Amino acid sequence: MATNNENNWFEDYADDADDIQIEEYDITAAPNDFNVLTMYSFMESGAIRIPGFQRNYVWDIGRASKLIESLIIGLPVPQVFLYEAERNSFLVIDGQQRLMSIYYFVKQRFPKKDKRAEIRTIFDESGKIPDHVVNDDTYFQNFSLKLTGMLPKHSNRFKGLGYDTLGTYKTQFDLRTIRNVIIKQNSPQSDDSSMYEVFNRLNTGGVNLKPQEIRTSMFHSPFYDVLYRANSKPEWRRILRNQDLDLHMKDVEILLRGFALLIDGENYAPSMIRFLNEFSRKCRGNNAEQNQYLSLLLDSFLDACHGLPEDAFFGKKTGRFNVALYESAFAAVCGQAFSERRSVRGSISADQLFKLEEDLEFKKAMSEWTTQTENVKTRLNRAKALLGSL
């Protein structure tokens, strides 16, 4: 099966490419050198936070140990980019893996791989990881440096050490400085879009961005944070049959498209890119209550999918994720619940979903002029007829 880091894990009818004009920015970028202990204190206090669009912590203990070793012995490490959201409040644009490795080392605990999405949710909600979670062996293991010697039979002098057992090296580590570039957007003042633009360009090497990457830069909002959190949930990754987040945010776009067609499907007009841009712009006006409800609605839809086979949304012939099938099913199943402002009730039938995929009208509406209004609405109507609302 294709992985999410390849471009062929999904089959999509709407890979059109409209040009989108990027804003012109007035920003300042100020370098600062903070020592390790100060950086840790900033994170522990919540002054430095990891924004929702960042992926989860992915380093293994060996790679994290090499970073700690570099800091102890004075080797340079890459600079960190922070965005100044407000006075004494910073968001990490680039450097999350390094900062979290330092944070975990000082805590003397290393996160277990299968619990990192859950730990991330706790971090987002609390601003830090509470001590009772850090000390819970369900989530963490002890963090002692896992290092190898340069030559056979010559062990690394730091191997097996933890933060509290560094001895005379502890002060060295605490006072080692890390270069931080703090970015502040002076204009436009209506949004923080430069943060996402810098993030995307740092993480794509300056290559042309995909539509959702650009959309993230231009229209980010608390609603997008709902999408980012949902994108890491095991129930959603099961539907996609892949634990890896897509480098170009196609998985986030699929979630967005489901909501856009549910809420604004009656107003759909080509192209899909413009439709999603306009919907994203409108969602910047969502209040906290609306975003919380949409999050709960999506959770209830994922629960309704629990009994489906893992390949339920994958084309039987192509073996790729069928975006049109998912978005149509989501809009249909959630329709009544959304109008009544409640959660989805019950479960989706695998037989009904298969009938929708094989329905002649549905297939015809995907075979040509697939982004035209008539065909999009035909797919939505066939989904409502064959799946109904829950």
Please write the tens of the pLDDT for every residue from 243-282: 888 877 899 999 999 999 999 999 999 989 889 989 998 9
Q: Give residue 199's pLDDT band: very low, low, confident or very high (50, 70, 90).
A: confident
Q: Is the confidence at residue 151, as pLDDT, over 60?
A: no
Q: Give residue 20's pLDDT band: very low, low, confident or very high (50, 70, 90).
A: low
Same domain, 14 and 50: no
Same domain, 43 and 14: no
Same domain, 226 and 148: no
Q: Is the confidence at residue 32, as pLDDT, over 50?
A: yes
Residue 271 has a pLDDT of 86
Assigned domain for 252 exists: yes
- The rounded percent of the chain whose pLDDT value lies above 90 is 64
**Around 197, how many Cα atoms within 13 Å sit in the side-chain half-sphere?**
17
Helix (H) or strand (E) holding 82: strand 80-86
- Single out the residue in 152, 186, 220 at which a domain terminates: 186
Query: Which residue segment(s) compose the domain that 152 sits in?
Result: 26-186
Tokens of 320: 């790729």
Query: If DSSP states are collapsed to H, E and C, what string results for 336-374?
Result: HHHHCCCCCCCCCCHHHHHHHHHCHHHHHHHHCCCCCHH
Task: Let me know the angle formed at the C-alpha of 361 by 357 and 367, rounded to the nearest 5 degrees.
Answer: 80
CB 321 within 8 A of CB 9: yes
Q: Give residue 9's pLDDT band: very low, low, confident or very high (50, 70, 90).
A: confident
Q: Give residue 155's pLDDT band: very low, low, confident or very high (50, 70, 90).
A: confident
Residue 249 has a pLDDT of 86
> Which of 39-48, 184-193, 283-292 is least confident?
184-193
Q: Is the confidence at residue 196, as pLDDT, over 50?
A: yes
Same domain, 179 and 315: no
Same domain, 170 and 148: yes
Same domain, 147 and 224: no
Q: How many structural domains is the chain composed of?
A: 2
Q: What is the pLDDT of residues 308-328, one digit of tens each?
A: 999 999 988 889 999 999 999
Q: Phi/psi of residue 306, each to 5°?
A: -60, -35
Residue 208 has a pLDDT of 62
Report the mean per-residue pLDDT for the chain.
88
Q: Give residue 4's pLDDT band: very low, low, confident or very high (50, 70, 90).
A: very low
Q: Phi/psi of residue 322, each to 5°?
A: -95, 100
Same domain, 91 and 217: no
d(C-alpha 305, C-alpha 374), whole Å: 28
Assigned domain for 4 exists: no
Same domain, 283 and 315: yes
Same domain, 178 and 217: no
Question: If we measure between CA atoms, which residue out of 186, 182, 260 comes closest to residue 219?
Answer: 260
CA torsion angle for 72, 77, 83, 89 (degrees, to 10)?
0
Q: Give residue 350's pLDDT band: very low, low, confident or very high (50, 70, 90).
A: very high
Q: What's at 387, amino acid-wise?
A: L
Q: What is the pLDDT of residues 68-104, one digit of tens each?
A: 999 999 999 999 999 998 888 998 989 999 999 999 9
Assigned domain for 321 exists: yes
Q: What is the pLDDT of residues 205-221, one digit of tens each?
A: 655 667 887 787 678 78
